[in-house]
Structure 1
């Protein structure tokens, strides 16, 4: 249908009603502000409404076709099993039929066909019902990090820091008098602080074509894995952003669902998986921005309860950075439970874990769970690489401390000078320092190492020989180091309770 004869909104409604009747009595119809979905059998057909709005233009069939094709392209990156094809609608508004993908002649409209999923597996519903497990959050952190890592840098036209500020200001303009003045002032100050980092990251290629709307309601668990879907296709400026703008949406929404522990678990896991620790300095700004986006949605829907909740969330997220952050070192022999303890503590304290086993392999160009050859092992665990590893731990920790974020360094740190260097780093950044020594009997350590080696899923390569060496060279923390000893010779639940008690003490 040419532009002179394109559909009106009334014709769209007529066409949709006719399609619904054709597809059968079990067909469900869902209306959104800009789309209509028809749910039938195992499929969901999405049609754009013929609208022209300030942020999109679906007035012509050609524009609606382009948007369908763009949505298919973008979302196949994260959910290829859900996004199937674009199909023409042929005939007339009164007697339409869905054609095959190659039947473009005579099309009056276009739809995107998707595979239906179980709505109860949407992550926002799982979170609301207390069914979002730690494993789901870990999988989501890996999923988002891998997605971002695989993306190429956006063209130079995208990602100007001035545009970031413009979108943030647009939230306040839309909310008007309902937006707290202190949040507006904080946003302006925080932008001034991060503007140089935004520009640097743009130059480094961290502005990429991401998802754009990555809240929990746009992520579904399918076959045990999280699948982001429904990325923004109609406005490229909303998806060509710093990758941290995407990650911060997940972080914010976990917090918004009353899961701050899960939010920190996600943020730390995301950085550990992809290596983008420096980007976490942008987390408070983008998290507040995303909370205000949700507040704007609530305002449009006249949902005052949700609006007030989202404003409270935004206010809390504006205080993520601390004037005096904490650097905590979990140290101990291989198998002593350092990584488990660090993971528990980071959730309770609101911190980011920096793990020596992971960073050592990253420096060597190896994946965290890769098993090195004997030749690689000799280099990987030699004195030179160990020095490089601890230097990297210090560099990453320093970057996070400078941003006001709590840091947990997870490393054996069996030598006194390794611990003293991190203590000095904390002092340099005006941060508090705490040392937690994880301990367990040698028989327990050896049994854990054997199980870990058999599973082959952990970043650590330390075997029985390494433990024997550590037992010979270990420099036990002296009394003046004020180490907090944590006995890990217990089941996981007991260790978690001991970590919670330690969080309260800290």
Structure 2
């Protein structure tokens, strides 16, 4: 058997299923064939039929009819998690007495196909990106959608092993072994050795982090192949931030290997952030990570995400290399070789320095002073995650971020001792982010000198600049905002009933807490853009137009 599945029978199957006559009535007007290194997809006007190549690549084995049938069935079941309405079932491929392959019921069953609805190419994330239409709203909704998916994904002792330091190291070494004979066609020998050295040394240095993630339940039976060309947005709801999970479909999870599908959720989301980087959009990649970390309350992913992006880039380089080796079409070979080199070089960039030196920006103020609005706007311009006290507190309490903790002021979850623990966790999460080379935005009231002192200790321990943005608004404006907030479902527990108590116990910023450059007071009754322009004179933002 040819390693690329290129046998007389398989090529005949490909030619036969490219004919409209091979399909049941009403027959399609045309059939488009798209080939990957492991399958053929036959696209009609409204349907897709995907046939797996009869190959054994070691990490997958489709070498027999029975193995291909089982793989097709697994693909349908597993993809129901993120694309239930798209995967319609498994259908037999028949061969009639005249030797032609077809999908209507006549003749010997010689193969199997996954039957899917065809989604519009123009709604695919990579297509939107190519047209300049993939927005920050798309990215925020996608991050929330994936975070919700990961929260539902199963885990077990066996699944958790897939994220162990031993398993990850095995996967990395297998990558290097399988690419060793040919990788110097794509990168220099020194470059190949540097990728291997960096990835293996990272694993050795950070083994306790991988073990902690494994113990903490972050290793799950996820998707395994999160790429832009697997993500589709419904055009009728894709621009609405109010429906975070609706209108997003994600196809083609790995079905042939639980070992490769399961892993740290950081590895899953890093595949997608890496793909955005590979498409020249570092800004959207960082936004994806920031929104995902906040939605999942998983800021510890920042300690590992650069490694996983490098690992995922290397995997994509390997896949492109296999595609180049398998094809006889010069155009396919050229495109695959370029993709292989691009991804191998991206893997080399895993230890790249940050585009902007990291800073800690804390946004504080009284209830309803506009902190979260300013924090979110700053985070977007810094390419940074927001770590906020409201979500952190509720995660520590074991409740959903939008659940109300309706208690009297400074009692229960808001007792000063609990609040001190919340601020300690804010600082810990911020430290993880900054040590990855990224800036961080903290969103909390910082109403006491003791709470603000945490910021000074944090910044000095990290050796990074500190900025305290103090949000101010007249009390009457704050009360109006709280009246409106009472009608909405949100994260904050701030409400009118506790506003006066909060004001009474807020401690103003004293001289000496911050220097003149660090302390920035803003009037949140002014337009946000006006405030951002003023802040840009003190805090260095991501340069406009810089994407890669």
Instruction: Give the alignment's TM-score, normalised by structure 2.
Output: 0.81
* 1:20 CA displacement: 5.0
Aligned with 1:352 (options 343, 367, 385): 385
| 1:358-373 correspondence runs (5 A) | 358-373=391-406
1:472 counterpart residue number: 504
2:461 counterpart residue number: 428
* 1:112 CA displacement: 0.8
In structure 2, do the counterparts of structure 1 residues 107 and 19 end up closer, same or farther at CA, with 3 Å as the change threshold?
Answer: farther
Report if aligned partners of 2:230, 2:252 keep a CA contact under 8 Å in 1: yes
Report if aligned partners of 1:332, 1:413 keep a CA contact under 8 Å in 2: yes
Aligned with 1:72 (options 70, 76, 101): 76
1:175 counterpart residue number: 183
Whole-Å Cα distance in 1 between the matches of residues 338 and 473 of structure 2? 49
Aligned with 2:250 (options 228, 238, 245): 228
1:445 equivalenced with 2:447 (yes/no): no
In structure 2, do the counterparts of structure 1 residues 348 and 252 end up closer, same or farther at CA, with 3 Å as the change threshold?
Answer: farther
* Partner-residue secondary structure (3-state), 1:108: strand
In structure 2, do the counterparts of structure 1 residues 383 and 167 end up closer, same or farther at CA, with 3 Å as the change threshold?
Answer: same
Whole-Å Cα distance in 2 between the matches of residues 197 and 340 of structure 1? 33
Aligned with 1:192 (options 175, 180, 204): 204
* 1:379 CA displacement: 2.6
1:289 equivalenced with 2:325 (yes/no): no
| 1:146-161 correspondence runs (5 A) | 146-154=148-156, 155=158, 157-161=161-165
* 1:320 CA displacement: 5.4
Aligned with 1:141 (options 140, 143, 149): 143
In structure 2, do the counterparts of structure 1 residues 338 and 219 end up closer, same or farther at CA, with 3 Å as the change threshold?
Answer: same
In structure 2, do the counterparts of structure 1 residues 59 and 323 end up closer, same or farther at CA, with 3 Å as the change threshold?
Answer: same
1:486 counterpart residue number: 522
* Partner-residue secondary structure (3-state), 2:395: helix
1:252 counterpart residue number: 274
Report if aligned partners of 1:37, 1:44 keep a CA contact under 8 Å in 2: yes
* 1:201 CA displacement: 1.9
* Partner-residue secondary structure (3-state), 1:84: strand
In structure 2, do the counterparts of structure 1 residues 189 and 127 end up closer, same or farther at CA, with 3 Å as the change threshold?
Answer: same
1:40 equivalenced with 2:44 (yes/no): yes
Once the two structures are superposed, residues 329-373 of structure 1 have per-residue CA deviations (whole angstroms, 9 ceiling, x without a partner) of 111122233223222333433433211011112222221122345
Whole-Å Cα distance in 2 between the matches of residues 394 and 132 of structure 1? 33
The worse-fitting range, judged by mean Cα deviation, of 492-501 and 27-36 is 492-501
The worse-fitting range, judged by mean Cα deviation, of 165-174 and 478-487 is 165-174
Once the two structures are superposed, residues 395-423 of structure 1 have per-residue CA deviations (whole angstroms, 9 ceiling, x without a partner) of 32344445554332210111110010232
In structure 2, do the counterparts of structure 1 residues 61 and 306 end up closer, same or farther at CA, with 3 Å as the change threshold?
Answer: closer
1:83 equivalenced with 2:101 (yes/no): no
* Partner-residue secondary structure (3-state), 1:479: coil
Whole-Å Cα distance in 2 between the matches of residues 230 and 376 of structure 1? 49
In structure 2, do the counterparts of structure 1 residues 137 and 324 end up closer, same or farther at CA, with 3 Å as the change threshold?
Answer: closer
Report if aligned partners of 2:369, 2:524 keep a CA contact under 8 Å in 1: yes
1:393 equivalenced with 2:405 (yes/no): no
| 1:301-312 correspondence runs (5 A) | 301-303=333-335, 306-307=339-340, 309-310=342-343
The worse-fitting range, judged by mean Cα deviation, of 242-251 and 181-190 is 181-190
* 1:48 CA displacement: 1.6
* Partner-residue secondary structure (3-state), 1:78: helix
Task: Tell me how large the CA RMSD over aligned residues is.
Answer: 3.2
1:3 counterpart residue number: none
* 1:68 CA displacement: 0.5
Matched residue pairs, number? 497
1:205 equivalenced with 2:217 (yes/no): yes
1:108 equivalenced with 2:130 (yes/no): no
Once the two structures are superposed, residues 228-287 of structure 1 have per-residue CA deviations (whole angstroms, 9 ceiling, x without a partner) of 211112233221221111111122222333333322222122122222222221011011
* 1:323 CA displacement: 12
Whole-Å Cα distance in 1 between the matches of residues 481 and 276 of structure 2? 32
1:98 equivalenced with 2:120 (yes/no): no
Report if aligned partners of 1:338, 1:410 keep a CA contact under 8 Å in 2: yes
* 1:312 CA displacement: 5.4
* 1:80 CA displacement: 0.9
| 1:412-423 correspondence runs (5 A) | 412-423=445-456
Whole-Å Cα distance in 1 between the matches of residues 535 and 53 of structure 2? 53
In structure 2, do the counterparts of structure 1 residues 347 and 314 end up closer, same or farther at CA, with 3 Å as the change threshold?
Answer: farther
The worse-fitting range, judged by mean Cα deviation, of 461-470 and 405-414 is 461-470
Whole-Å Cα distance in 2 between the matches of residues 48 and 293 of structure 1? 20
In structure 2, do the counterparts of structure 1 residues 308 and 476 end up closer, same or farther at CA, with 3 Å as the change threshold?
Answer: farther
Once the two structures are superposed, residues 38-58 of structure 1 have per-residue CA deviations (whole angstroms, 9 ceiling, x without a partner) of 223422111122233343322
In structure 2, do the counterparts of structure 1 residues 488 and 259 end up closer, same or farther at CA, with 3 Å as the change threshold?
Answer: farther
Whole-Å Cα distance in 1 between the matches of residues 399 and 358 of structure 2? 31
In structure 2, do the counterparts of structure 1 residues 321 and 283 end up closer, same or farther at CA, with 3 Å as the change threshold?
Answer: farther
